[in-house]
A and B are shown apart, each in its own frame.
Chain A
Amino acid sequence: MKKLCTVIMGCMLLSLAAPAAFAAEPYRIGAIFAVTGPAAWLGEPQKNTVKMLEEQINAKGGINGRKIEVIVEDSVGDEAKAVLAFKKLVERDKVAVVIGPSRSGPAMAVKPLAERSRVPLIACAAAEAIIKPVSPWVFKTAQNDADAARSIFDKARSMGIKRMAVISSTDAFGDAGRKQLKAIAPDYGIGIVADETYVPSDTDMTAQLTKIKGTDAQAIINWSIVPAQTTVLKNRTQLGITLPFFQSHGFGNINYARSAGAAADGVLFPQGRILAVDTVAADHPQKAVIAQYKKDYEAAYKTDVSAFGGYAWDALMLAVDALKSVGDDRAKIRDYLEARKNFVGVSGVFNFSADNHVGLGQESFEMLTVRDSNFIVAK
């Protein structure tokens, strides 16, 4: 019996060693997304987006007369699996460029591999650590937290606000935002007069809001990505607080606006323009791109377009753009991306440089607001 175990193991080793089928025709692009698992809400729209774009591009005859092939690997949001997926894409599928992963942890785990194997990586995750310190081979398409904070303070300053209260959730997203807000506020001459937190599983934030009500804050910032943030909105209405109310870009899910109902009306938050396509000015450079993406995506998948799918749109189209111009030589793609300016994407207009591998600034955020459970551009 032991013998049999060993024989099976030997077979397993052998079957693994069999080379994958080889075809050189199409341009190959690898993608690592959290298609299933706890971060599927990120990975699924990303996979849908790249599959839709692959079909569209190939229907038009591909690029440079060659089709593209996007090979999507599911990381399940797991770091070890992302490492495996990256090696598979690079060593077996011989892709020219890798897009993803969807989450920051897996992106950080893959970053050293991209450097070592000299493969351009365009991450779809937000953490600044992905591009700071800059690695020559690693880019990302999701905006920085700090720019969301700056957008909020810009708007607040234009409204003549000098004192603000911060309330945030005690998870990675909330904690990172809270630190950024406190660090950046002095640059805008704004004082943080209250700093309250709530646990993502809390069901009542009346205590924290009552405390804020007792301060001389002129506006409130609620920084969170979890559903509990809508409870803050409801409690605020119940307490009769009418101060201007800001949310972070973590509010950018239409379901949050729907679940808060009337309590969400008038809330201000920075997000990509993809969420309020209809109210973006017709002459805005991104208008055509986001309107087309929204129309195609919603027709293909019968569900609302999201900012997360937009990160994948940007990553894939940047890769396609590079392939079109310089072919599938990895080093040339890297050089091309780093020098790319004025690339109009879904998340913003990208301008990369040797020390800026996100290519997006504060202007990629638009100040949005909620009216009747719809996102619109704030006046």
Chain B
Amino acid sequence: MHVRKNIPLILLVASVAAAALLITDPYILTMLIFIGIYAIATMGLNLLLGFAGQISLGHGAFFALGAYVSAILTTRFGAPCTAAAALAVALVCAIAWAVGLPCLRLKGHYLAMGTLAFGEIIHITLNAEVELTGGPSGIAGIPVLSLGPFSADSDARYFLIVWCVFIALFVLTRNIINSRPGRALQALHGSEQAAGAMGIDVAGMKLTVFVLSAAYAALAGVLYVHFVAFVSPQAGDIMFSIKMVTMVVAGGMGHLWGGLLGAALLTVLPEMLSYFEDYDMLIYGGILLAMVMFMPGGLTQGLARLSGALRARRTAVRPGAVTGGRTEDPVPRRTAQ
């Protein structure tokens, strides 16, 4: 079959399995758990931002809502984790649908402002509804994920759960992109008028992908809250929304691996740079700036150019034949395998 096309995915599955068996350092496992959680959220945002071309600065709020609903259901009402998680994702889908209906009529900066306002409303509500959400003090003592006799009470087990969820969603996302609706999404990124003329339900398509990406964020929020066991309104504030967008852009918009690479980069880099003590922020900012200047298409594009250049040299083909390298491409290459 398509073994060759599936090699990266197979390698990912193998390295997750190997990591689960070999890595025992809780610090690294924790970092990998956070990377997995952020990667799930950014994969959803990438669908919206990279594939459908719709910006959202309110996805942190969906993350926070998923986290809070699950936290409230398990701590106040003693609901089992799986039921709480399912309900949280379903509720966030409903909210995203209600928000998306008016918001997605907006375009460009206005859509960004609209979603930003939504995020801020959720943030204020979480702070003010003290009876329900605990207000600024948050909710503590949230139970760890469990299903029947199986409880994800160790870092290694939680790592496995997060990454299994990621891989399942990865396959799902890939299938969506390679299907008819996926191509419709990419068409409306190129030109909404042209997409409409070809018979694509533009408004319906946008709403569907908005709700879907919110569901990813909510699921990430659920995984976050049952791992950290504490949640405060800070969990999904505006800074987190912006961080998610940064992850997508740094990783590669409109590229399946983009979300994962961006999440890994923005989580690992600050940790590594802490060795430089006072200069870490300077170096971190410098790296991000350099990436924007020299790799506007993100890590995936940068790596594609690098491997393309290497291959070109090896096969002694003219450098001009390198593919996927031009930064001025009006429509970013959206590749998915």
Interface residues of A (CB under 8 A from B): 1-6, 8-10, 12-13, 16-17, 36, 73-74, 77-81, 83-84, 87-88, 91-92, 104-105, 108-109, 111-112, 127, 129, 171-172, 175-176
Given known A-B contacts A13-B15, A16-B268, A83 and B281 have beta carbons under 8 A apart: no
Given known A-B contacts A129-B140, A171-B136, A17 and B23 have beta carbons under 8 A apart: yes
Q: List B contacts of A80 (CB < 8 A).
A: 34, 224, 228
Stretch at the interface among B73-81, B104-112, B206-214, B300-308: B300-308
How distant is B218 from chain A, measured CB to nearest CB, in Å?
17
| Partner of B234 from A1, A12, A87, A105 at Cβ < 8 Å | A105
Q: Is the CB of A112 within 8 A of B127?
A: no
| Partner of B137 from A73, A91, A111, A172 at Cβ < 8 Å | A172
A308 to B145, CA, bound (A): 37
How distant is A22 from chain B, measured CB to nearest CB, in Å?
13
**Which of chain A's residues has its CB closest to B255's CB?**
A5
**Which of chain B's residues has its CB closest to A4's CB?**
B307
Q: Is the CB of B230 within 8 A of A5?
A: no
How distant is B263 from chain A, measured CB to nearest CB, in Å?
11
Stretch at the interface among B24-32, B48-56, B182-190, B289-297: B24-32
Kindly count the residue-residue contacts between A and B in the assembled complex, taking CB atoms under 8 Å apart: 114
Q: Is the CB of B127 within 8 A of A36?
A: no
**Which of chain A's residues has its CB closest to B18's CB?**
A13
Q: Is the CB of B27 within 8 A of A87?
A: yes
Q: List B contacts of A171 (CB < 8 A).
A: 136
A8 to B34, CA, bound (A): 18
Q: Is the CB of B25 within 8 A of A2?
A: no
A177 to B257, CA, bound (A): 48
Interface string of B300-337 (1 = CB under 8 A from A): 10011011100000000000000010000000000001
Q: What does DSSP make chain A's interface, helix, strand, loop or mixed? A: helix
Given known A-B contacts A78-B234, A172-B135, A4 and B264 have beta carbons under 8 A apart: no
Q: List A contacts of B268 (CB < 8 A).
A: 12, 16
| Partner of B11 from A6, A17, A111, A127 at Cβ < 8 Å | A6
A16 to B272, CA, bound (A): 9
| Partner of B140 from A4, A17, A111, A176 at Cβ < 8 Å | A111
30 contacts between A and B (CB under 8 A): A1-B300, A4-B303, A4-B306, A4-B307, A5-B8, A5-B261, A5-B303, A8-B303, A9-B12, A9-B15, A9-B261, A10-B11, A12-B268, A16-B32, A73-B274, A74-B280, A77-B234, A78-B234, A79-B231, A80-B228, A83-B228, A84-B27, A84-B31, A87-B27, A105-B234, A108-B138, A108-B232, A109-B230, A129-B140, A176-B136
A84 to B33, CA, bound (A): 10
Q: Is the CB of B23 within 8 A of A91?
A: no
Q: List B contacts of A91 (CB < 8 A).
A: 25-27
Interface residues of B in 106-151 (CB under 8 A from A): 127, 130, 135-138, 140-141
Q: Is the CB of A17 within 8 A of B28?
A: yes
Query: Known contacts A4-B307, A74-B274, A88-B271; can you find 16 more A-B pairs with CB under 8 A?
Result: A1-B304, A1-B307, A3-B7, A3-B8, A3-B307, A5-B303, A6-B8, A9-B260, A83-B228, A84-B271, A105-B138, A108-B137, A109-B230, A112-B230, A129-B140, A172-B127
How distant is B133 from chain A, measured CB to nearest CB, in Å?
12
Q: Is the CB of A2 within 8 A of B8?
A: yes
- The verdict on B200 contacting chain A, using a C-beta distance below 8 Å, is no
A315 to B9, CA, bound (A): 48
| Partner of B136 from A81, A109, A172 at Cβ < 8 Å | A172
**Which of chain A's residues has its CB closest to B273's CB?**
A74
Q: Is the CB of B34 within 8 A of A84?
A: yes
Interface residues of B (CB under 8 A from A): 7-8, 11-12, 15, 19, 22-23, 25-28, 30-32, 34, 127, 130, 135-138, 140-141, 224, 228-232, 234-235, 257, 260-261, 264, 268, 270-271, 274, 280-281, 300, 303-304, 306-308, 324, 337
How distant is B261 from chain A, measured CB to nearest CB, in Å?
7
Q: Is the CB of A2 within 8 A of B337?
A: yes
A239 to B30, CA, bound (A): 56
Given known A-B contacts A79-B228, A112-B229, A1 and B303 have beta carbons under 8 A apart: yes
**Which of chain A's residues has its CB closest to B7's CB?**
A3
How distant is A13 from chain B, measured CB to nearest CB, in Å?
6
**Which of chain B's residues has its CB closest to A81's CB?**
B270
A91 to B28, CA, bound (A): 10
**Which of chain B's residues has its CB closest to A2's CB?**
B8
Given known A-B contacts A73-B274, A83-B228, A88-B27, A127 and B234 have beta carbons under 8 A apart: no
| Partner of A108 from B30, B140, B300, B306 at Cβ < 8 Å | B140
Q: List A contacts of B130 (CB < 8 A).
A: 175
How distant is A50 from chain B, measured CB to nearest CB, in Å?
13
Given known A-B contacts A5-B300, A84-B271, A108-B232, A10 and B27 have beta carbons under 8 A apart: no
A108 to B137, CA, bound (A): 9
**Which of chain B's residues has its CB closest to A51's CB?**
B277
A281 to B19, CA, bound (A): 61
**Which of chain B's residues has its CB closest to A127's CB?**
B137
Q: List B contacts of A3 (CB < 8 A).
A: 7-8, 11, 307
Q: List A contacts of B308 (CB < 8 A).
A: 1
Q: List A contacts of B337 (CB < 8 A).
A: 2
How distant is B247 from chain A, measured CB to nearest CB, in Å?
13
A24 to B306, CA, bound (A): 43
How distant is A179 from chain B, measured CB to nearest CB, in Å?
9
Q: Is the CB of A10 within 8 A of B15?
A: yes
Q: Is the CB of A87 within 8 A of B232?
A: no
A3 to B141, CA, bound (A): 42
Q: Is the CB of A175 within 8 A of B135?
A: yes
